[in-house]
Amino acid sequence: MLPVLYRLESAWQPDGGPFGRFTFSLFNLSGGPLSAFRLVYTSLTRVIEGAACENAVFLRRNANFHEFAPPEGLTLAHGEHWTFTVNGLHREAKHCTDGAKSAYLTLADGSHVPVAVSDLRLEGAVSELPPVRLPKGRLELPFALQPWPAEIDAAPGEAVPDVLYPAAESNADEVDAVSNVLALFHRLFSAGHAPFSLAPSPQGLPIVFKKKAELEGEAYRLAFSDREIRLDYGAAAGRQYALTTLAQLIDGARNHGGDFRFPASGEIADRPRYGWRGCHLDVSRQFYPTADIVRLIDILAWFKLNIFHWHLTDDEAWRLEIKAYPTLTTLGVMRGPDEPMLPQLGNGAEPVGGFYSHADVKAIVAHAAALSIEVVPEIDIPGHSTAALVALPELSDGQEAPESYHSVQGYPNNALNPAIPLTYEFLEKVFDEMVELFPSRYIHVGGDEVADGSWLASPLARKLMEQEGISGTFALQSYFLKKVKQMLTARGRKLVGWNEVAHGGGVGTEGTLLMAWENPKVGIELAREGYDVVMTPGQAYYLDMAQADAWQEPGASWAGTAAPAHTYAYEAEGEFPEELKSRMKGVQACIWSEHFLSRGYFNRLVFPRLPAIAEAAWTPKDKKDWLRFAAIAPLSPIL
């Protein structure tokens, strides 16, 4: 472990500026004097009025990268610190995670040295403690199931079978399915005793499989007795879910016997509430190694989720190898003090990168498919494209005024230009490689948060708009996305996008699925316009949002805060008029990674809200029970 040579302490005070002010103190612990340096930090609470700082000179900002110089001639001896304040912020800080996420110094010789950072302290107001997020819970039936099944009428037993094993007449696919769920269990709970054995055991119970034509693909039935377990299924997914249910039951009873039991008799008749039960992961803002993605997919399978929405590109990085454009995953992923892309969101003195090769993707897609999970890849276009534009400068209009528009995250000129023919050539080649890698019925093309005013300072875009009679950014976005939809249709794939795809005229509704993220109402509006909809409202299903308003509760808050109880209780279908309900295809958790700098942070924010959303996706409304969920959620596997 490297010693901390420099440390940046930060506090936010509500007074002293329109959105309060930061006070930073840089401590020199290096053992020698510090002089002639610049300080960089990354923070989502951005400085927009650089002149408004005291005892420092604001040098530059790019999105959440901020660089400052100390007053002329400042030298810090060992143990001394330099304090400066910044009050030209673009919004208030609300949580302890709203301050500097990383920092480093650039010394006179051009070298960069790490600076340790810590939580943002609140001064001048009460810094509230994080509240209890999960009550103790209460069980009416002592079964460790999440999500809770559609129908359960079973009596708890006293005994826990040693193992469950496929009955002698099971076919090879059925034995294979047992092995598959056993392997899933071992990966998730490496210290757990096996719930299944392929070999029969006198102390165990046989599972008698029956394929039933009347059961839909994801449905299953289990019947319990002291002689055998009957498992009826319609297709591989339902069979896997039935085995997962058995694994959860037996593991809960074995390891948490004070609360949970294995059924002695009775039945479970189960099927999902929604066909789309998704979880999204943003791997652009932070890179997740393949092993983490595989483990997340295992967790999704454990909760009977069936869609992994893989957000592969954004301003911060393009993480998908495209062999036709190698710079996407060289220039388009590296961030560092001396890289073409500056540090952001927790990056520091060391350059960082990371991408998924074709081999990585194939392994992940195969792993997911074996667990009945469809991987829906996303490239986020036309906005959120800084990384692609850095990797491929020829995709920009060289005559467009720099900084002519900024995204809501503060990136200048970050959208692919619809008036450049190369944009379409680029996308054709990208989609060609994507359809080879991803068998999914869907390709997600983003479409979110194109800044109003985008392209209006591009002479090429202006000319196109005049030729085509297009007026305004969003009509041009619609022109672009219609072409993108044609590319996907030509490749036999359906377009999925964020709700703004409908802006400016949208794209054809046929076969288009949009994700309502901005608020619940937008989903209903989209359904009324004829789009199929998946509900991912930030106010309930964005797992990067803090789980309470308290300062010491970590997370973002621009969409509000989402307590686990709220996420659990939220009814995505709630306000949908009866005639539009068939357009609502399901629900999805979104894990945006701006704040996710560690596994501990990931687990703190994602659990228990991910299993809460899994239950919203699976369990009928009248079977949802927050206190039961609270009693079972602590058994969740974590990353």
Minimum CB–partner distance for residue 384 and ligand ACM (Å):
8
Tokens of 326: 């190698």
Q: Which is nearer to ligand ACM, 448 or 532 (CB)?
A: 448
Which residue's Cβ lies closest to ligand ACM? 448
In b/e form, how buried is each residue of 322-360, taking b as 16+ CB within 10 angstroms? beebebbbebbbbbbbebebbbbbbbbbebbbbbbeeeb
Q: Which is nearer to ligand ACM, 143 or 498 (CB)?
A: 498
* Tokens 């995709």 sit on residue: 395
How far apart are the C-alpha atoms of 483 and 480, rounded to whole Å? 5
How far apart are the C-alpha atoms of 305 and 280, rounded to whole Å? 11
Which listed residue (9, 400, 449, 615) is catalytic? 449
3-state class of 298 per DSSP?
A: helix
How far apart are the C-alpha atoms of 36 and 72, rounded to whole Å? 8
Helix-helix angle 358-369:290-302, to 10 degrees: 10
Q: Which is nearer to ligand ACM, 448 or 573 (CB)?
A: 448
Chain mean position to CA 603: 12
Minimum CB–partner distance for residue 414 and ligand ACM (Å):
13
Minimum CB–partner distance for residue 514 and ligand ACM (Å):
11
Contact yes or no for 461/419 (Cβ under 8 A): yes
Minimum CB–partner distance for residue 373 and ligand ACM (Å):
21
Contact yes or no for 152/43 (Cβ under 8 A): no
Minimum CB–partner distance for residue 319 and ligand ACM (Å):
17
Q: Which is nearer to ligand ACM, 437 or 450 (CB)?
A: 450
User: End-to-end distance of the chain based on CA atoms, in angstroms?
Assistant: 24
Per DSSP, 455 falls in state T
Minimum CB–partner distance for residue 590 and ligand ACM (Å):
7
Tokens of 609: 């809200």
Tell me the residue ranges of DSSP E strands in 485-603: 494-498, 513-516, 532-535, 584-591
Q: Which is nearer to ligand ACM, 218 or 449 (CB)?
A: 449
Q: Which is nearer to ligand ACM, 396 or 588 (CB)?
A: 588
How far apart are the C-alpha atoms of 320 and 220, rounded to whole Å? 37
How far apart are the C-alpha atoms of 618 and 287, rounded to whole Å? 30
3-state class of 545 per DSSP?
A: strand
Q: How far are the Cα atoms of 24, 354, 373 from residue 492, in angstroms, in the given order?
A: 54, 30, 20
Minimum CB–partner distance for residue 498 and ligand ACM (Å):
4
How far apart are the C-alpha atoms of 500 and 452, rounded to whole Å? 12
Q: Which is nearer to ligand ACM, 260 or 517 (CB)?
A: 517
Q: Which is nearer to ligand ACM, 585 or 628 (CB)?
A: 585
Q: Name residues whose C-beta falls within 8 Å of residue 567's C-beta, 6 or more positions apart in sequence.
A: 540, 541, 609, 612, 613, 616
Minimum CB–partner distance for residue 517 and ligand ACM (Å):
4
Minimum CB–partner distance for residue 495 and ligand ACM (Å):
15
Q: Which amino acid is present at 357?
A: S
Q: Which is nearer to ligand ACM, 517 or 576 (CB)?
A: 517
Q: Which is nearer to ligand ACM, 314 or 360 (CB)?
A: 314
Concerning whether 449 is annotated as a catalytic residue, the answer is yes
DSSP 381-434: ESSS-HHHHHH-GGGS-TTSPTTS-B-TTS-BS-S--TT-HHHHHHHHHHHHHH
Q: Which is nearer to ligand ACM, 263 or 523 (CB)?
A: 523
Q: Name residues whose C-beta falls within 8 Å of residue 576's C-beta, 6 or more positions apart in sequence.
A: 523, 524, 527, 584
Minimum CB–partner distance for residue 70 and ligand ACM (Å):
37
Q: What are phi and psi of 542, to 5 degrees?
A: -90, 110
Alpha-carbon dihedral angle through residues 148, 605, 132, 616, given to the nearest 10 degrees: -20
Q: Which amino acid is present at 604?
A: R
Minimum CB–partner distance for residue 386 and ligand ACM (Å):
14
Per DSSP, 622 falls in state G
Do the strands 57-62 and 65-69 form a parallel or antiparallel pair, or are they unpaired? antiparallel
Which residues are at the interface with ligand ACM (CB under 6 A)? 448-449, 498, 517
Q: Name residues whose C-beta falls within 8 Å of residue 127's C-beta, 6 or more positions apart in sequence.
A: 96, 121, 551, 552
How far apart are the C-alpha atoms of 122 and 13, rounded to whole Å? 6
3-state helix, strand, coil in the chain (%, to 5): 30, 25, 45
Q: Which is nearer to ligand ACM, 400 or 449 (CB)?
A: 449
Minimum CB–partner distance for residue 409 and ligand ACM (Å):
9
- The residues carrying an active-site annotation are 449
